Amino acid sequence: MFEVLKDRAFLRKMLTIAIPISLQSMISFGVQLTDTVMLGYFGEVALSASSLAGSFYMIFGCICMGLGCGAAVITAQYWGKREIDPIREMCAICFKVTIIISLVFTFLGIAFPRQIMQIYTTDEAVIESGIRYLRILSIGFLFNGLATAATQILRSVNIVKIALFATIGSFFVNVFFNYVFIFGKLGAPRLEVAGAAIGTVIARVFEFAVICGFVFLRDKTIGMRLRHMRGFSRDMMRKYIKAG
């Protein structure tokens, strides 16, 4: 262990990966915290509604994190051997599975928001407020799911800065649009709880555009492009299931 700590080249490489990942996690938490802080102005009902509806969102986020990490386990192995084609195959499978899961959660959040909120509370005022928040928030599931999966895969090939920059940008986007739509600024209607959901969705779309735009348009390390989404490898799917 102490020999590893004396290896300065290894420590530098580790820190260049670990620090951006840690910062991204902290800022991502800040994006979620923004809704709570701003909605606190409107009292306990709005605060509770966003928090409880956010619990459903957290379940979705954990699933997408797992999907991305499962793929990253495989892509990291191929990256070590510098085999790019299998990495693209795994990316395609991960993105397709993420899209399916995201659409399921989107459907549940839009079609059954009352039933979901009733799992967490019996307070009718909180349920009604949570329904407005969750229905809008569900629109962002697909964007958030794909961005999360792409982030995990990029980390497996030592690309960490683009996700950090996207998360920083999404934080400020969220703060700005929350301010506009929650409080009704710059000519926008005052939407309170619904405004917080709109701000969060816009922030997630921004994050998705930056990360997935990089993956499919700019990245040359993996070279993943939309045409690679057409293929399907059963062997790679079996490896993905085992990794999960």
Helix (H) or strand (E) holding 134: helix 124-137
186-232 pLDDT, tens per residue?
Answer: 999 999 999 999 999 999 999 999 999 999 999 999 999 999 998 77
Cα–Cα distance between 55 and 140 in angstroms, integer? 15
pLDDT per residue as tens digits for the range 132-185: 999 999 999 999 999 999 999 999 998 988 998 999 999 999 999 999 999 999
pLDDT for position 2: 47
pLDDT at 10: 58
Residue 32 corresponds to which tokens in the numbers above?
């979620």
Q: What is the DSSP letter of 218?
A: I
* Short-list 66, 35, 64, 67, CA closest to 52: 35
